[in-house]
Every structure is written in C-alpha cells, then in structure tokens.
Amino acid sequence: MLTTHRCAKALQLTLAVIKPDAMAHPLILEALHQRILENNFIIVRSKDLVWRRQDSEKFYSEHAGRFFYQRLVEFMSSGPMRAYVLAREDAITHWRELMGPTKVFRAHYTSPLSIRAQYGLTDTRNTTHGSDSAESARREISFFFPDFSQETWMESEEPGFRKGRMDGPMRAYVLAREDAITHWRELMGPTKVFRAHYTSPLSIRAQYGLTDTRNTTHGSDSAESARREIGFFFPDFSQETWMESEEPGFRKGRMEYDQNKQIHTLPVHS
C-alpha cells in the first residue's frame, strides 16, 4: 500500500502518458491505472487532455524528419490522452520496465508481462509513453504540466512522501439542503477516479482526484452514517437541537453567510 511503503532513497519524478489507443477503452485505462498503483508509484499529478497537431509536432520535434514522425504526430493528436506525474525511487527506470520495449513484437518475447506486450497494437499505438532520462522527465513534465513546480515539490513534499506521510490537514463541513446526502455524493462523483472521468466528467473527483484513495472528498452514504460521522467530527454539535430550533428558519430561506466563520447562520434580530 502507498500509505505504508517506505524508502530511504530520494523519490524521482517521471512523466507517464496513456496514449489515445488505450484511452479509447475504459477497461484498459482502468487496468493501467491499477498497474501504476500496484507498482508503488505515487500519483503526484494527473489530467486528461487532447492535443492539437501543433502540440504533437512541438513535443516530438526531435524526431522531425524521421520516417515515423508524421505517423506519430497524427496519432498522438487523434484523441484524448491521460498524463501523470509519477514519483517513486528510480521512477524513470521502473516505469520504463513496466511499459516494456517500444516495439510491441519485442515486448511479447522479452517482457511478456509488460504493458506494451499485453495491450500494445503497433510500435506507434503502444499504449504508453515514459521519459527516458532525468533531463527528459523535467522537460516533458513541464510541457504537460506547465503550472507544476518540480523544484518546489521536491523541496516541500518529497520528504513527506518518502517517509510515507501522506496525511495532512482536512476540512470538515456539516452541510444541509433537501436530499443533502444524495446531492453531495452526486457532486463528488464515483469513488473510483477513472470511472468519474467517464461517467461524471464535471464532478469533483473527475476534475481533482488523483487515485481512488486520494480522491479529494468524502461524503456520508446514508442518514445513519451521516449521524454517526457528524458526531465523530463535531462531538459538540447537537444534530437534534439544530433540526428543532434552526432547520425551520433555514428551510424558509432566512439565512446569512458569515465570511469569518465560513458558515451560514440565522440572522439575529434585536
């Protein structure tokens, strides 16, 4: 499990890309996502995107003039992709070993359990991409994630991840509205991030979730669990008293938002 994995060596960042041929098949995408987690990679960033042709040409400019260049450019701008920033010790080497050889026929013979051996179709439509050196990882991560500071992450977050400390501050709310449990769970989206991307692309987890554990939000799944969980997070809050004395006022729309406390309150009349 990521939460118990320990390593003394500094973590390394690499770029991993799920190519359009794999993105077209949700079950393959799910399988690849699980392979990443099962191999002790930490998902630092993740996003789905579609390239314009000029994006593809710019990324693969070093191959301009090669016999496969036009085919590669057209394929990589043909549909959605998923890009990850992954971290673990020797991340570049481990991800490339997990992918297998670029040539699918070679992958079948030399690395039959690799991603490309199992899911690759051709040497271009070979499901995944990965940086081949620390220098290319820095360049490629910046290309896909221009707002992500690799230096800041290595300085401020890498030590905690290396020690297995993936915990940190949380914010808990008691929310109220008609059918609050159902509406909040619909807003969050499915627990599994890959499923959220396909079934609820505008949901919180689809837009901000990284893994099925690091999926940004939690919500009670029933009235019984809501009572229990609210009692756990807010032991001094009386749900019964609120329902009796304040709920009628809120239901009638008599409320104000307190910017300092960041909660809604009923107006106090003198």
Binding residues for ATP: 19, 68, 96, 102, 116, 126
Whether 218 is a known active-site residue: answer: yes
Exactly one of 25, 94, 108, 218 is catalytic; name it: 218
Candidates 129, 197, 264, 269; catalytic one: 129
Residue with tokens 């789905």: 48
Q: Rounded CA gap, 155 and 220, in Å?
A: 36
Contacts within 8 Å (CB) and 24+ apart, 89-94:
89/7, 89/9, 89/10, 89/11, 89/12, 90/9, 90/12, 91/11, 91/12, 91/13, 91/14, 91/41, 91/137, 92/12, 92/14, 92/130, 92/131, 92/132, 92/133, 92/134, 92/137, 94/39, 94/41
Annotated binding site: 19, 68, 96, 102, 116, 126
Residue 129 a catalytic site member: yes
Q: How far apart are CA 165 and CA 155, in angstroms?
A: 15
Q: 91: closest CA among 154, 20, 168?
A: 154
Active site residues: 129, 218
